[in-house]
Amino acid sequence: MQVFYLAFPLFPKSMPKSFYFLLVSLSASLPINLKACPLGEKHLPITYEVAFNNEANPELVITKLIAQASSSIHLAAFAFSSPVIVKALREASQRGIIVQLVIDKKHNIEGDESGIGKRAARSVADAGGIVRTNGKYRLHHDKYIIIDKCHIQTGSWNYASSARRNSENILILRNAPDLAEAYLRHWQLRFDQGVSFK
């Protein structure tokens, strides 16, 4: 399976284009190599990576990202049922990482006739993760992960196996503590509105 990566440091528009670099890899074995950056640390350049499932396997990229977490994982999801992502979250929780999720209540619990969303949520909760469901909106349609309060994964990809059949994308922003803090504020609001999964 090929993985397509792009990574650019994000500089002000006024900086010369020569400061920009492009990294393209067609190797699925390329590590993400995340390093935790404390909130407020500014010296590391912000970089980003993208993956499209027509050329790559975003699910694999996401699980590698989760595996690199060193302190915390905060996930917001509409659909939540991917066995490989559930497995990665369970493993993270079992190695002592704080794992907290807020997922759409209607899609994963109330309207989940197959039970796949409930089983996924239960699996993470049984491994020590904290799972809440949010039913305050027509859809809780957020799809992002905050890693170590520093790195962000977002995009159109639902955390469900069904996303493999769609045209989807993910974006990973690394070394972005200020942006991660903004995402975390939004995540906390949705988490606080939710109810504990039982």
All domains of the chain in start order, with CATH: 17-196 (3.30.870.10)
pLDDT, residue 135, reads: 93
pLDDT, residue 19, reads: 31
Cα gap 137→13, rounded to integer Å: 37
pLDDT along the chain (198 residues), means of 10: 39 38 30 51 78 85 95 96 96 97 91 88 96 93 96 93 84 93 96 90
Alpha-carbon Rg for the chain in angstroms: 17
Please, which residues have CB within 8 angstroms of residue 19's CB and are 6 or more apart in sequence? Answer: 9, 11
pLDDT, residue 112, reads: 81
DSSP tally for the chain: helices H, then strands E: 5, 8
pLDDT, residue 42, reads: 57
